[in-house]
A and B are shown apart, each in its own frame.
Chain A
Amino acid sequence: MFPNFPIWPVRAATSASNLDALFIFLLLVTGTVTLMIFILITLFALRYRHDLVDKPTPILGSLALETTWSLVPFGIFLIFFVWGAVLYFQERTAPPDSMEIYVVAKQWMWKLQHADGQREINELHVPVDRNVKLIMTSQDVIHSFFVPAFRLKQDVLPGRYTTLWFHAIRPGTYHLFCAEYCGTQHSGMIGSIVVMNPAAYEAWLSGGGGEGSLASTGQKLFQQLGCGSCHRSDTQGRGPNLVGVFSKPVLLEDGRTVVADENYVRESILNPGAKIVAGFKNIMPSFQGVVNEEQLLSLIAYVKSLQGSQQAEPVSNRPAVPNTSAQPRVK
């Protein structure tokens, strides 16, 4: 009818279908109540117009009514709250089998890196029907990764990682917007998400001129920067053995335990003194200013890839975490 006048955004991911159900429910409930109030006001205004009424009837109030119109709305609000919270929780908990893509935002572009080494700018190719997790950071100010067709948005902050995951259900090209005001060309910081059929995606992957996987780039860097001289894959290094560390709990010198997620590894490289691994000295130099955001991501990808052999416990030169029930948590 009006090709250029959408009133409903396309639904291209599971998150979009879930959200639309809640949105329609909210529309129906709030729409009914709003209409009810409008009708009452109009009705009262017409029925009790001053020349139709001789004397107003004094009414002070009614405790029963007050209780009703406090508690009933509150009950309805609770439904909105719980439903919304459940969706939010799902949106924020990436399934463990997600394929990971790294996003670096800067004024005013999106840089995307696939695990296989492909790099893209302002365009992201993903396969349909796969769980995809984005690990995002900014090189400068706060940006926000917003895909209306997925009904998803997440701010992208400098100095840390935030994540977002989705499961696309419909091949196509969708808008990617920056939704947090970030300076002059904020409205130019847009791009597209290309959701592809698995075959097309494979073709695209092999066509792209990746220079080796992200982890292998990270491995080279690891050697170049001399990380390997302290972090050895045996028990003899001056620094902890990094094999099998990622996403596991780490015991710190001050007795706390933290999970080695992306933000932790990042901090360990840029600000090693902030959290000291138990049994080690604060001798690791800071690499702040030495590595840029993209190199940092490749180092993280490398640390992640050091998963040791699946059967045996990896060799470790660190004290074990006392509370064995501590489960790795993925943020």
Chain B
Amino acid sequence: MATASAITAEREHYLNADYGFRSWLLTTDHKRIALLYLITITFFFFVGGFFALLIRLELLTPQGDLVQADTYNKLFSMHGQVMIFFFLLPAVPAVLGNFLVPMMIGAKDLAFPRINLLSWYLFIIGGGLMLYTMLTGGVDTGWTFYVPLSTAYLGTHVVLAAVSIFIAGFSSILTGLNFIVTIHRMRAPGMTWGRMPLFLWSNYATSIIQVLGTPVLAITLALVGLERMFHLGVFNPQLGGDPLLFQHLFWFYSHPAVYIMILPGMGVVSEIIPCFSRKRVFGYEFVALASIGIAVLGFLVWAHHMFVAGISVYSAMVFSFFSYLVAVPSAIKVFNWTATMYKGKIYYSTPMLYAMGFIGLFTMGGMTGLFLASLGVDVHVTDTYFIVAHFHYIMVGGMVMAYLAGMHFWWPKITGRMYPESWGKLAAMTIFIGFNLTFFPQFILGWTGMPRRYHAYTPEFQVLNVLSTAGSTVLAVGYLLPMVYFLWSLRYGKEAGDNPWGAAGLEWKTASPPPTYNFEETPVVTWEAYNYDDLPKEVPVVG
């Protein structure tokens, strides 16, 4: 190890191969593009988080006293739009996926490196427009753009926000396309589908949704823009349109989008749990196929967002049934992850803590989803804080935990440096506690009847709201910690070496940070995924 680090100092890799702004802004190296995305989405994460904190502060008291009603509506709208379209959707695919997909299959780059760069530019243009929207007065449509409110009643930058998301959507489509082609065409010799790491399976499933679903969102937003500007009567009943048509189109994309956000996170967890249990993942085929099952079934459940919207009783029943069906593959995954730990040799490293936290919080998010899929219950809790809590358990408790798990797991590979382990654990615990304190009370708030998107509320809801706000400050501290120590580690972190976790997977068989073309020579794969039986039993760094 010691000699290896000495050599790393002069070795050429993707970070020092070239210097200067041009070398970054015109790069076609998937690893550099991943870092460009990382910087962009981290920025948006903190912007969205800032809005969230203001929302929580307003809700400390029942009266709407901190900000005006209109401002509050803008805050939750922009919080949602920024977090979903500019953080959650791209987080794992565009950062970790971009970095890892080619490395995990033993390729030099993605199939279309320039299109990959184009994706980032589209994202930047969309993100820039979103920033412009925010700076020039914002938008108050919610993230859902419901009509006819958005097309005929609001005076804010609805079209601008729609255009910004429209453009960012194409970045998502192109990334998905790139992954699909890459995984089909560029696998190293011996890397069969059955040997692919589960991270690839789940990113593949995600890509399918991105390519098939996102265009529908684009069309829907375009129609919103056209109706708003030219009074095209598609959605507004006063112009002869149908507001439920909008909801069908919107959720046809936006339910599967939930899986664009969570599937890649599941992929991350499927890498980390075997590594820190030092054994092969339990039921590989089932976990892999569950991803595909989720992607396919995920397209058949959209109207579960519309059970009280005025759809027919019978179609509601069909959608309720399919919603239960899509819950099965998720349950399969949770059981398999848990079983993987059985008779393992378990290391409580930071990524593993996050991964275990993910299982816990995702399970709670999933279980409360079972409440919502049940028609009678949904009628009462939909559009209340119960929904808010449910999807934050999936998106933040699940997805953000998985993203952070992945960032800690692959940070040594990305930067060649270790982050400080004890700080890592402290942050993981802080986030877990802060998260539950913030969002658990919201389940009770929703069940007792507090509607979502309320600027002011009736006094009996205050105690739980205060708890939630208190939790959100803990959560904020938890999120700032990694930000600080990751930056610190760039300079002061220990040298990581090629494979600090003793992990399986091709990305660990090359140097950290990897050379520009990833591998000195194209690897030939002769082993199954997660061949921990053939690897050292100890985790070198922690053990």
Contacts and interface: CB of A to CB of B under 8 A. Distances in A.
Interface stretch (A96-104, A119-127, A152-160, A295-303): A152-160
B279 A6 contact: no
Interface residues of A, number: 86
Interface stretch (B90-98, B363-371, B493-501, B504-512): B363-371
A89 B153 CA distance: 34
A59 B463 CA distance: 48
B383 A38 contact: no
B73 to A, nearest CB: 7
A187 B452 CA distance: 9
B448 A9 contact: yes
A177 B449 contact: yes
B345 A30 contact: no
Contact of A41 (B64, B338, B447, B460): B338
A44 B328 contact: no
Interface string A190-233: 10000000000000000000000000000000000000000000
A92 B374 CA distance: 15
B498 to A, nearest CB: 21
B370 A80 contact: yes
Interface residues of B, number: 98
B148 A77 contact: no
Contact of A50 (B346, B356, B375, B377): B346
Contacts of B383: 144, 146, 153, 179-180
Contact of B284 (A30, A61, A69, A149): A61
B283 interface: yes
Task: Indicate the member of A80, A152, A185, A190 with the most B CB atoms within 10 Å.
Answer: A80
B310 interface: yes
Contacts of A33: 367
Contacts of B297: none
A153 B339 CA distance: 41
A322 to B, nearest CB: 25
B299 interface: no
B454 interface: yes
A264 B325 CA distance: 36
B537 interface: yes
B189 interface: no
Nearest to B309: A155
Interface in A13-29: 18-19, 22-23, 26
Contacts of A45: 341, 346, 348, 356
A162 B378 CA distance: 17
B368 to A, nearest CB: 8
Contacts of B537: 54-56
Interface string B449-467: 1011111111110111000
B449 A56 contact: no
Given A37-B363, A148-B448, A85 B328 contact: no
B345 A48 contact: yes
Contacts of B342: 44, 48, 59
Interface in A46-89: 48-50, 53-62, 65-66, 69-70, 73-74, 77-78, 80-81, 83-89
Nearest to B458: A175
A140 interface: yes
Task: Indicate the member of B142, B331, B380, B538 with the most A CB atoms within 10 Å.
Answer: B380
Contacts of A86: 376
Interface stretch (B312-320, B480-488, B514-522): B312-320
A183 interface: yes
A59 B64 contact: no
B149 interface: yes
Contacts of B153: 107, 140-141, 183
Given A141-B153, A183-B153, A34 B367 contact: yes
A190 B457 CA distance: 10
Given A59-B343, A158-B238, A69 B331 contact: yes
A81 to B, nearest CB: 5
A248 to B, nearest CB: 21
The 10 closest A-B pairs by CB, nearest first: A148-B449, A159-B237, A87-B376, A84-B374, A88-B375, A61-B283, A187-B454, A77-B324, A44-B341, A57-B343
Interface of A: 2, 4-9, 18-19, 22-23, 26, 30, 33-34, 37-38, 40-41, 44-45, 48-50, 53-62, 65-66, 69-70, 73-74, 77-78, 80-81, 83-89, 91-93, 107, 140-142, 144, 146, 148-149, 151-155, 157-160, 162, 175, 177-188, 190
9 contacts: A44-B338, A50-B542, A55-B537, A80-B373, A85-B376, A88-B313, A144-B308, A179-B384, A190-B458
